[in-house]
Amino acid sequence: MKMRISAIVFFVSLSGIKLLHGVEENKPAPGEKPNVLFIAIDDMNDWVGFLGGHPQTQTPNMDRLAKRGVNFTNAHCIAPACSPCRLGLLYGVEPFNSGLYPFYDHEKIPQEVLGKYTSLPRYFREHGYQSFGAGKIFHGSKSLAEDWDDYLKQSGAKLEYAPEKGYQQGDSGKMAFCPTTNPLEDHPDYQVASYGIDVLKLQHEKPFFLAVGIVKPHLAFVCPQKFFDMHAGPIQNPLIRHRDLQDVPWVGRSMAKLSDDLRFRTDDSWEQVHRSYLACISWADFNIGRVLDALENSPYADNTVVVLWSDHGYHQGEKRSFRKFSLWEESTRVPFIIYDPRPGKMKSGNCNEAVSLINIYRTLGDLAGIDAPEYVDGKSLIEQLRDPIAALTEPAITTWGRGNYSVRDDDWRYTRYFDGGEELYNHSSDPQEWENLAHDAALIGKKKELAAFLPQHEAPLVKTGISLWNVVDADQPDKLTGFQEKTWSQMKQKLKPAIE
């Protein structure tokens, strides 16, 4: 089976246009089971047109999808890091139920852990679908054979950077914020989108689950010049309060990437960083648009559910931080859209209820008319797809390390760290989360109400297969002492008086 599909994909990539005509002549009868186009994006925060996070962003393709579908404007990640968020989403299990809190090598996670779960692509395969994947779906480049009928093997063209047209820290390949000089075809996201387009040109006998994993705007912030040209003028700064960390408890402070902020300030490079991030978002949007256009022009346009999500958000200087790895809004809020073209299945609009990416598994199951495995966490969003203003009673929970959880409902965020540190923010009056209200006596009731949603049981940390464990949590409490004694006092000297 695998061989046959690989051969077809290879053939199509050589003569796609010819085969497309063949597909049009054999347009499939409207099936009962929809196809699924599953678009995963890496590190994209709310700087997209349809979430309004930055006034200068240009994302016409995703904006168009958001308008046609349900745009979840208050969606949050399972964990603010690639690996635990993707494992949670793709196996349908919260970190506090699986024990998969930090980063893992997917293939090294013990079978006694993963064997209990069914990944989303495998779940679709087991229910009559063929699954196709490309790019970053799980964290890491390796894909497990049982998940996919076919998975793109990418060619590794070396990208050449033009740091003189942007900013780069030394010769760091990762900390580069500048245009590339390669042709479009050399870039991984272009190749991933092309694979998706090729799969959409195939004549499918079975419904398909097509996963397209876009890796920008993940570091390095590099992409073709054209997308930098779209953001050539002065870039507006995000709203930042300098002494914002003053009322944040120690574990929260440890999550701020103070050294990145300091470096960008010293190098006077924040604007280049912001420009490069916006350019990479537009580049991601361009490639997503290529796949969406191909779907629209395919025989599958009327029977393919599209789900688009980013694995977590991104700090761009807020809370003196860069990257993700925190439980603040910048890290947890994500783009999330579902579009179902089938008549009567969905009503377009914005859903402003707090939702979690953990809800994707059950929702896709409902849309495909197949039951999710019993263990799967989260609730189906099928009601919100039928009526975007339908209420949802449970908040979204984000986990970052065992013992650190943030609960987000429509108006509030409540965070509790493993050592008892707390934050409480009122989003209706303080969307930037500047004023920590956790110690306001008048809000004890609110805090209790939200705390009731904190996990009652915490799975022990799965220790085998960890590839990166960069959080201060219940299993690494000693790291906090080190942070307090060394990092904070050093940074305080350098950043003074900005952080205290």
**Could you tell me where the DSSP H helices lie in 59-145?**
60-68, 82-91, 95-98, 111-114, 120-125
Structure tokens at 399: 């986990």
Cβ closest to Ca ion, residue 354 vs residue 437: 437
Q: Give the DSSP letter string of 274-298.
A: HHHHHHHHHHHHHHHHHHHHHHHTS
How distant is the alpha carbon of residue 278 from its chain centre?
16
Cβ closest to Ca ion, residue 15 vs residue 470: 470
Segment near Ca ion (CB under 5 A), from 45-53, 221-229, 308-316, 348-356?
A: 308-316
Cβ closest to Ca ion, residue 34 vs residue 80: 80
Helix axes 270-296, 258-266, angle to 10 degrees: 110
Segment near Ca ion (CB under 5 A), from 53-61, 219-227, 274-282, 310-318?
A: 310-318
Q: How far is the CB of 436 from Ca ion (least distance, A)?
A: 5
Element spanning 251, H or E: helix 250-255
Among 19, 140, 184, 247, binds Ca ion (CB under 5 A): 247
- Phi and psi at residue 388, to the nearest 5°: -60, -20
Residue 331: strand, helix, or coil:
helix
**Nearest residue by C-beta to Ca ion?**
82
Cβ closest to Ca ion, residue 40 vs residue 109: 40
Q: How far is the CB of 340 from Ca ion (least distance, A)?
A: 26
Is 340 a residue that touches Ca ion (CB under 5 A)? no
Structure tokens at 322: 């860069």
Q: How far is the CB of 321 from Ca ion (least distance, A)?
A: 12
x/- binding map, residues 374-413, to Ca ion, per CB under 5 A?
----------------------------------------
Segment near Ca ion (CB under 5 A), from 18-26, 34-42, 154-162, 335-343?
A: 34-42
Quick check: 331 and 315 in contact, CB under 8 A?
yes
Q: How far is the CB of 434 from Ca ion (least distance, A)?
A: 5
Structure tokens at 368: 């495909």
Among 189, 198, 244, 473, binds Ca ion (CB under 5 A): 244
Among 33, 42, 89, 194, binds Ca ion (CB under 5 A): 42
Segment near Ca ion (CB under 5 A), from 305-313, 423-431, 462-470, 472-480?
A: 305-313
Quick check: 436 and 423 in contact, CB under 8 A?
yes
Q: How far is the CB of 413 from Ca ion (least distance, A)?
A: 12
Cβ closest to Ca ion, residue 252 vs residue 395: 252
Structure tokens at 448: 């209790």
Omega within 30 of 0 (cis) for the link into 217: yes
Q: Token match 């009652």: residue?
A: 456
* Residues identified as active-site: 82, 139
x/- binding map, residues 55-94, to Ca ion, per CB under 5 A?
---------------------------x------------
Structural Rg of the chain based on CA atoms: 22
Per-residue DSSP letter, 17: H
Segment near Ca ion (CB under 5 A), from 40-48, 62-70, 118-126, 167-175?
A: 40-48
Among 12, 33, 41, 43, binds Ca ion (CB under 5 A): 43
- 259: number of Cβ within 10 Å: 15
Q: How far is the CB of 135 from Ca ion (least distance, A)?
A: 12
Q: Token match 């590099």: residue?
A: 222
Structure tokens at 240: 């930042």
Q: How far is the CB of 104 from Ca ion (least distance, A)?
A: 14
Segment near Ca ion (CB under 5 A), from 103-111, 114-122, 246-254, 273-281?
A: 246-254
d(CA 490, CA 359): 42
Structure tokens at 407: 């609960």
Q: How far is the CB of 81 from Ca ion (least distance, A)?
A: 7
Give the number of residues in contact with Ca ion, rule: CB under 5 A.
7
Cβ closest to Ca ion, residue 275 vs residue 312: 312
Burial of 347 (0-12, 13-18, 19+ CB in 10 A): middle
Beta strands in 83-175 (DSSP E): 103-104, 130-135, 150-151, 167-168
Cβ closest to Ca ion, residue 116 vs residue 243: 243
Cβ closest to Ca ion, residue 250 vs residue 434: 434
The torsion of the CA quartet 200, 141, 57, 388, rounded to 10 degrees, works out to 60
Q: Token match 């003189």: residue?
A: 164
List of residues contacting Ca ion (CB under 5 A): 42-43, 82, 244, 247, 311, 434
